[in-house]
Chains A and B, each alone.
Chain A
Amino acid sequence: MSIQTSNQPLLAADGRPLKQSLSRALRRQKLRALALVAPLLVFVMLTFVLPICNMLFRSVENDIVSNIMPYTVNALESWTAEPDTLPDEAIFKAAFYDLSVAAKAKEHTKLGTRLNYEQTGISSTFRKSGRALSKSGKALAKEFDALDPRWNKAETFFELFTTDEADRQASDQNILDRQLFRLNQLKGQAYDPLPNFELAREKTAALPLTAREYGYWALFTSLEKNKDFTKGKVTEALYVALTDDLQNPQNKAYIDRLTGPSAELVKTAAAYFETQPNLNYAKLMKDVNKNWAEPVVWETIKLHSSRYTNGYFLNAVDMRKTADGPAVQPESKQILLILFQRTVKMSLIITVSCILLGYPVAWLLANLPMRTSNLLMILVLLPFWTSLLVRTSAWKVMLQQQGVINEVLVWLGLVATDNRLEIINNQFGTIIAMTHILLPFMILPMYSVMQTIPASYVRAAKSLGATNWTAFWRVYFPQSVPGIGAGSILVFILAIGYYITPEIVGGTEGVFISNRIAYHISSSLNWGLAAALGAILLTVVLVLYWAYDKIVGIDNVKLG
């Protein structure tokens, strides 16, 4: 008898292929199961996974430099930093307009703060420049006012650049689109374009820089400030741009060709400024703040201008980004690696202490008669019903120099009153308090594993001739190892990310990496570095978890 192997797929009763029918049936089951967990899944995604991903993304995100100084970043691309060499005029020019715009939008200090993480002191340069930038425009504004008082009015600029309704063909929408994008990037918002506002093509050809800056200013004033940009005065930087345009020989032909009501005004001003000394942006910037004459400022900007950076991760491991690639931080700034090492070392000590203290308790819980073990279980669970903060503070009361333990030791005469034990605000205090707080997380998994070990194993071992110790060590202990494993993973992972307890009882010696993360989140506001530290911590935990799975096997972990 032989079985014919056919290439035809097996068919279900209704003639469909069996595999297809099966997967249909299973899919329905899966969908039903998914519907049950969907609310929780959505909740977890929205409140947990997405914020974490968003936060972790900040560790590489670095678009603040290119958003706030787009023209500068663009101009710096071709510049290579050499020692004691200043960038050329074009870069100073780009930076002047970028910073003027940023200062008006009050965004320049943010960039200063960001770059200050990399180059200490740079934030004051940005902050001071913000105030001084308008001054350089004011002097030129006065010269224009002297030429013709009409230059003093925003109305004049509006008439100069806008075109008639009828003449749509002659408008230059391109410039406005780009300036709207510039505004959106700077403020991190998406504004709608301004209706009925166009720049005439012949004007933008004659005065390209002024047109660009005016376009931006008009959008900014109207959309962000909600003011009428055709009334009052224009921003001071526009006079600098206008001077630049009038002195630029490339524009001369276009200016000569200008017609219309404002043409004469422009031509008069052009004739005047031809006789004046040429605009020097480098000098302008040096007058704003002498630090702009330092090449290191420009190097810093260039180094951190890319939209994505590994700088935060380098910082997180006590390194920094330099023009020559990653370098080790100066010794005075190295703290994070030490903190990482300390966190791992102390978490290991805490885990081991928990094993040593928890194992006998778990054994008692599993082996005492029900009534006694229930009472003991309540004692184990009692800390869970007390606030973490209260328990930690209680340790503070116990351990401080004038605290319960020291007082008792002094009273007993074991310790001299002027030589009290220092058992808090150091690593010892953190280890004691955290061992106490994490102990239940060790005991409970151990207990649930030990409960499943029948008493007959130890009895069998004894009947076979093993002493109490041998029966325990060779028979009972190996079977309780999965509980130790589960408890250790739980305690270690909790310990490595612990924050409150080291903060309260750790002093400076006993703090963990998480305290540093909290510092960067809430005090220094360096979220990028905080995110990088968090990402490294997460990776360490995942790697340890993976290693544990390889060595012990996660199947051997029993939590209940």
Chain B
Amino acid sequence: MAKSSKNAFVKFQRVQKSYDGETLVVKDLNLELPKGEFLTMLGPSGSGKTTCLMMLAGFETATHGDILLDGVSINNIPPHQRGIGMVFQNYALFPHMTVAENLAFPLEVRKIAKAERETKIIRALEMVEMGSFAGRRPSQLSGGQQQRIALARALVFEPELVLMDEPLGALDKQLREKMQFEITNLAHALGITVVYVTHDQTEALTMSDRVAVFNDGRIQQLASPDSLYEEPENSFVAQFIGENNTLDGEVKNLSKNMAVVQLDDGSLIDCKPVNVKKVGERTRVSIRPERVEYNKKRINKQAHTLTAEVLEFIYMGDIFRTRLRVAGNDDFIIKTRNAPDQQRLTAGQQIEIGWLPKDCRALDA
């Protein structure tokens, strides 16, 4: 713990936040991130992620606990002295100033000389490939262009920490994907620390070094995107990140690496115990759709098999998406690659499906 504290650039220590004195919006938040990390706060709306960001930026004060920046508590430092760059959801570009004036603003308030200011503005604009737009007004720019300018403005004064509050929320899908890529590249190239808030899980997975999944005022899981997807620690994370199949049951047998779960229709399956503590407990078993096989040739020998009825077979080009009835669950989805030898199914067909016990995680009910 002492070691990680030393490296932590941003640190939340037992932070709580309440607006009305009756309910806690943020409950006991502890979070550390090292310099240069791209951390995403992901969660449904009302989960407390934006409040955390606002506390870090200084627009909200923590009801309890400390927020440390580079080892110094910033609880009593006003926002303008924190030196944190911020990109807002609606860009918040000042409409009465040109692009260049917008970028000059943080430099002017820092009393940077005019010549230096201009080189910095040009460099920042070139960084976001908007060099020729200096004289335009924000209203003359498209959404994507405004987003780039907002980014440039947050970076122009060279902050070490940049906060982004759903910055791509207002863009269309294609532009969003492009910007995701650009922001990540830029953050890594500049070596800045980024705290990024979004409710879009794809965005979180593709951009971040680590993702903090928020729900109900708490961090449910803090992990890298791959482990978050493949090893969710509770059913909320499993459900929230990516597509997920669940089967409810009861733990019948429990060892360190294996749990036997009796599903509600009576069938027994082997699972990897993650969030179950004792025999007899209710559990929710989570299996990713792409880890389930129905092609007999592909089912692993160690795989656990169950019978299922095909309810719907959807051809999606690169993949097939099949909805099955498994152990009383009508929404069991499997995804299979459209390989040349792949078998196509029809509704009403009875098939056998299988998965490896390690892909089947017994989580909290």
Residues of A within 8 A of B (CB): 454, 456-457, 459-468, 470-471, 474-475, 478-479
Residues of B within 8 A of A (CB): 57-59, 78-86, 88-90, 92, 94-96, 105-106, 109-110, 153-154, 157, 163
Beyond A462-B80, A464-B153, A465-B83, whether A454 also contacts B90 by CB under 8 A is yes
Beyond A465-B80, A466-B80, whether A460 also contacts B109 by CB under 8 A is no
B86 touches A478 (CB 8 A): no
Contacts of A456 in B (CB 8 A): 88-90, 92
A463 touches B109 (CB 8 A): no
Contacts of A465 in B (CB 8 A): 80-81, 83, 106, 109-110, 157
A454 to B86 Cα, complex, angstroms: 16
Nearest CB on B from A110, distance (A): 61
Q: Which of A459, A467, A470 contacts B59 (CB 8 A)?
A: A459
Contacts of A457 in B (CB 8 A): 92, 94
List 13 A–B pairs whose Cβ atoms lie within 8 Å, in order of A's numbering.
A456-B88, A456-B90, A459-B57, A459-B59, A459-B86, A460-B86, A460-B88, A463-B79, A463-B80, A464-B86, A468-B78, A479-B95, A479-B96
Nearest CB on A from B97, distance (A): 8
B105 touches A461 (CB 8 A): yes
Query: Which of B57, B81, B83, B105: most chain A Cβ within 10 A?
Result: B105
A105 to B80 Cα, complex, angstroms: 86
Which residue from chain B places its CB closest to the CB of A471 in the assembled complex?
A: B80
- Total residue contacts A-B, CB cutoff 8 A: 67
B57 touches A467 (CB 8 A): no
A464 touches B90 (CB 8 A): no
Which residue from chain B places its CB closest to the CB of A460 in the assembled complex?
A: B92
A454 to B82 Cα, complex, angstroms: 22
B88 touches A464 (CB 8 A): no
Which residue from chain B places its CB closest to the CB of A456 in the assembled complex?
A: B92
B79 touches A462 (CB 8 A): yes
Which residue from chain A places its CB closest to the CB of B163 in the assembled complex?
A: A463
Query: Which of B57, B58, B59: most chain A Cβ within 10 A?
Result: B59
A22 to B90 Cα, complex, angstroms: 40
A348 to B53 Cα, complex, angstroms: 47
Contacts of B110 in A (CB 8 A): 465
Which residue from chain B places its CB closest to the CB of A464 in the assembled complex?
A: B106
Beyond A465-B83, A465-B110, A479-B96, whether A459 also contacts B88 by CB under 8 A is yes
A465 to B157 Cα, complex, angstroms: 9
Taking A465-B80, A479-B95 as known contacts, 4 extra A-B pairs with beta carbons closer than 8 A to each other, sorted by chain A number, are A454-B92, A463-B85, A464-B85, A465-B81
Contacts of B94 in A (CB 8 A): 457, 460-461, 475, 479
Contacts of A459 in B (CB 8 A): 57, 59, 79, 86, 88, 92
A478 to B102 Cα, complex, angstroms: 14
Contacts of B79 in A (CB 8 A): 459, 462-463
Nearest CB on B from A480, distance (A): 10
A466 to B94 Cα, complex, angstroms: 13
Beyond A454-B90, A459-B59, A474-B105, whether A464 also contacts B96 by CB under 8 A is no
Q: Which of A454, A464, A478, A479 contacts B109 (CB 8 A)?
A: A464
Nearest 9 pairs between A and B by C-beta? A464-B106, A460-B92, A463-B86, A456-B92, A462-B79, A478-B96, A465-B109, A462-B80, A466-B109
Beyond A478-B96, A479-B95, whether A467 also contacts B109 by CB under 8 A is yes
Contacts of A462 in B (CB 8 A): 58-59, 78-80
Nearest CB on B from A464, distance (A): 4
Nearest CB on B from A470, distance (A): 6
A470 to B59 Cα, complex, angstroms: 16
Which residue from chain B places its CB closest to the CB of A457 in the assembled complex?
A: B92
A454 to B92 Cα, complex, angstroms: 8
A463 touches B84 (CB 8 A): yes
A466 touches B88 (CB 8 A): no
A308 to B80 Cα, complex, angstroms: 69
A463 touches B57 (CB 8 A): yes
A140 to B95 Cα, complex, angstroms: 91
Contacts of A475 in B (CB 8 A): 94
Contacts of A464 in B (CB 8 A): 80, 85-86, 105-106, 109, 153-154, 157
A466 touches B90 (CB 8 A): no
Beyond A459-B59, A460-B86, A474-B105, whether A467 also contacts B80 by CB under 8 A is yes
A466 to B157 Cα, complex, angstroms: 12
A457 to B153 Cα, complex, angstroms: 13
Nearest CB on A from B332, distance (A): 44
Nearest CB on B from A105, distance (A): 69
A461 to B110 Cα, complex, angstroms: 12
Nearest CB on B from A188, distance (A): 60
A466 to B59 Cα, complex, angstroms: 13
Beyond A459-B59, A460-B86, whether A470 also contacts B109 by CB under 8 A is yes
Contacts of B85 in A (CB 8 A): 463-464
Nearest CB on A from B220, distance (A): 28
Contacts of B90 in A (CB 8 A): 454, 456
Contacts of B82 in A (CB 8 A): 463
A463 to B80 Cα, complex, angstroms: 5
Query: Which of B85, B86, B153, B163: most chain A Cβ within 10 A?
Result: B86
